[in-house]
Amino acid sequence: MSPSLIKLVFIGVLTYLVGLLVYLPASWILPRLLPEEVALQGIEGRLWSGSASRLKVGDLQLQQLGWDWHLLPLLGGQLELMLGTQGPGLDVKGVASWGLWSERLELQDVSAEVSSDYLSQWLDPSFQLTGKLDVRLKQLQWQQNQLIAINGKASWADAGFGVNQAIGLGQLEAVFEPKFEGTQAKLQGDGGDLDLNGNVMLKADGDYQVVLRLLPQVKLNKSASSQLSLLGISPNGGGEWKYAGQWFKPSE
């Protein structure tokens, strides 16, 4: 039997088995498939298309999770489903796909609206965020647990950050472009206490490099200057403040 015929037979059998599974009630099969640390509540529908009122993975909790599998990509050896979740300060939608042979996870057409209050729950209580994040990404790719490509843009309205008191950045924009060695993000912000521009290089091997330049539009008081210094942002002459840093993934 030729390799191509074996592949077709395998895909046919896989499609048949998946067809049997998808019509089982999601409330019966998902608790048996998911790891113990993943908990779903209020499950409705079937494995093929359904929803859950709450997802909990460790400290992460999401509300109103929905999914809808796409059949045609499965015939080509790719799992694909539409995902969405909503909650206080959070609204995310996108399409997830995973190649059965390439081991590549990809998210497409991702839209997300996230409030600063939602993000703040994951930060130290002394660190303050303001504003609302709006993300529109065409594509994110992971392979072998590494984020290898991002394509799209994000905007942060009424942006602000700081320790105990937020420093305003106004409207902050980020454009993500895939490069040969990874992804480059260009940052631009204006209309706040600080104008910001810079670059972030996210390399496919897990390393990253950051260069940011901030130009105060108002005279910074002692508290604001101290906050920037605490964050590793230092005066660069000409009234500018600068941050430059890099991180290398530990070798295994």
**Can you give the residue ranges of every domain in the chain?**
3-247
The rounded mean pLDDT for the chain is 81
pLDDT value of position 171: 93
pTM exceeds cut of 0.85: no
Burial of 104 (0-12, 13-18, 19+ CB in 10 A): middle
Burial of 23 (0-12, 13-18, 19+ CB in 10 A): exposed
Of the chain, the percentage scoring pLDDT greater than 70 comes to 81
Cβ–Cβ < 8 Å for 225, 216: no
* Residue with the larger pLDDT of the pair 176 and 216: 176
* pLDDT tens digit sequence for 183-223: 899 999 888 888 889 998 887 676 778 888 888 887 777 77
* Residue with the larger pLDDT of the pair 158 and 72: 158
pLDDT value of position 20: 64
* pLDDT tens digit sequence for 108-162: 999 999 999 988 888 888 888 999 999 999 998 877 667 778 999 999 999 988 8
pLDDT value of position 137: 94
Query: What is the mean predicted confidence (pLDDT) over 16-33?
Result: 73
Range from 12-26, 49-63, 85-99 that averages highest in pLDDT: 85-99
Q: How confident is the model at residue 58 (pLDDT cuts 50, 70, 90)?
A: low
pLDDT value of position 5: 65
pLDDT at 19 over 60: yes
Residue 170 backbone class (left: φ over 0; alpha: ψ -120 to 50; beta: rest): left
pLDDT value of position 132: 95
